[in-house]
Every structure is written in C-alpha cells, then in structure tokens.
Structure 1
C-alpha cells in the first residue's frame, strides 16, 4: 500500500469567538460552505520535499525571529464570485512573516499554489468558497447587514496537515528570541 502524502499549511487561527461566529453563519446559511475551518493563511499549502523534521526546525527558527503582532478583521470582500471572505487590514508584520516563510522554507517544501504568495498574497479569512455565481449572489444578499470586525493578537502560527480534512498538528510561537 502506498504511503499517503499529506499537504500542510501555515495559518493564523482567529480567536474562538470569531471562529464560533463564522461557524454559526455557515450553519444558518447553507450556501456558506467552506472546505476548511476559519483561518488566515500565512503560507500556502505545500508538501514536504524530504523529512519533515528539517522543515519543522526551520519553521520554528523563522517564527522565533518574529514578535507577536496585532491583526484586524474589517468587512466582507470576495475573490470574484467563488470566494467570500473577511478582509484582514494591512499588516506589515504579517507580510514580513509570510515572506520569510516563503523564502525560508523554499528548499524544504514544494508549494502547491504559489500563485497566492509573494506580491499576490492577500491575507483573508474565508467565509465560503467554491461558490457558483448564483450561490454568491444569494450569500451577498443574506449577509448584507453583517459587518465583521475584530482585533486580536497573533502570538503563534499553526501547522495544519490535510488529506480529506485539515487538522492542527502543531502550534509554533512567535517569540523574537534570536
């Protein structure tokens, strides 16, 4: 039997009250389906090129070089008519962390969707994805009065591992301890 190859992602998990709010919206509005739990991607999904130990060690080194920072969520937006998301306000610390992870893990991982990285990186919290144009129009109508806002501190990133579903396999603190 062939060994299963997992994909990984590096994300910020919003605070529990934000995750609960998104989950409740998804339950109340069936059109708001999403393939992953609420999160903000920091490094696009990837597969390991060799042993995971080296990549994990490098990930911890990169995170140790970054201080905790604050993020702000502010309003709804979309990528075309396929994805509805909560905007993440511009954050230089998040952009630096993203770019350091892209650069620092390049030799250890094969990114599956690198078109979303570097200058194309748009931090966001997905509310619904894989929408048809009809579902998108319905979702926009149903959420017309919803104006999501939240501010929270990011003191760690989380390594997700996925196959049919994504699970947190490790939390890596930001510490600026170099």
Structure 2
C-alpha cells in the first residue's frame, strides 16, 4: 500500500489554495491542499505497526510551530508547477528530515522545498499566463502547525487520512 506524510494547513489557507486548484490542478479531487513531508512510499500494512510508534515519538517530541506564506513560486523549468511558497524554518525543516532517517527509508527524489501546490501539469502558454498573474500578488498567511497526518492511497488514486499525530501530546 502507498503511504505519505503531510501537513494540512488551516482551512483559510486550503480555501485560498483550492480557489486556484479547482481550475489549475488536475489532482484537485484526489487530495486537499497540503505540505508534503514524506513523498509516497510503499509499505506492507503489517510493517505499519512498527512505524506508528515512531511517528508518535516524533509528534510527541515536536512543539507546535508557525508557517508563513508570502508569495507564489514555481518549479519551472523542471515542471510547470506553481505553488504557495512556505517559508522554510528550522522546526519545519527538522520535522521533514526526521521522516528520512532512522527507521524511515530516505525516499527523497529532490531537495525539500516546503510548498502547497496550486497549479500543475499546465501547458507552457497557460503556465506563463497563470504564473505571470500570480507572481504580482502578495499573500500574507500565517498559521500555527500542531499536527501531521499519515495518509494512504485508495484504489481510485485519492488519498485519505490513516492517522493524525498531534505535537507534544503525552504517550498514552
């Protein structure tokens, strides 16, 4: 089964992202707006029993932290993907790093760039128009992040929450 680890930002950020994703992201219906901490990875459900305690340990040792979004950016020329740029901070970078060491396989295919995708798989001319317009906009989002989610992929390619891990919670 395919799994992934993400942060879902607060609703007001998701609503803004979805206002673009509805039109410019063909994966709009498959997953809500998110920050990917660990790309999709395959794991047998039996192995998940070993991973869940490690995810709980990481969550318990993590304090809530803030994120900021001030602008859009792009992965062009690699892909015609446009995203809300999440300003990197030590807490976010450290959290992401923990999912690629120790008991976790390092499956990173590229350096971690914290972001929330708002458009992807655009034709070149559409990409130029959309990015040209969006880069003139200023965004001013701040949010406190206090949890991450382990997701799994369904047969229809959509993603759903397997479990949510709240930061700083006591082990029960």
How does the TM-score come out when normalised to structure 2? 0.84
Map Cα deviations across residues 12-59 of structure 1 (whole Å, 9 max, x no partner): 1111011111212233xx2x1142421011122211155211111111
**Conserved in 1, the CA contact under 8 Å of 2:17 and 2:116?**
no
**Of 111, 114, 130, which aligns to 2:121?**
130
Which moves more between the two structures, 53-62 or 132-141? 132-141
TM-score (norm 1): 0.82
For structure 1, which segment, 164-173 or 42-51, has the greater mean C-alpha deviation from structure 2 after superposition?
42-51
Asked if the contact 2:6/2:38 (under 8 Å) is kept, the reply is: yes
Alignment RMSD, CA only?
2.1
Match of 2:164 in 1: 171
Question: Per the alignment, do residues 136 and 104 of structure 1 end up closer, same or farther by CA in structure 2, a change over 3 Å counting?
Answer: same
Residue of structure 1 in register with 2:109 after alignment: 115
In structure 2, the residue matched to 1:3 is none
SS at match of 1:146: coil
Aligned equivalent of 2:147: 156
Return 5+ residue gaps in structure 2 as ranges.
none
Ranges in structure 1 where 5+ consecutive residues have no aligned partner = 1-5
In the alignment, the residues of structure 1 paired with residue 42 and residue 52 of structure 2 have an alpha-carbon distance, to the nearest angstrom, of: 12
Aligned residues: 163
> Which residue in the other structure is 1:94 paired with?
92
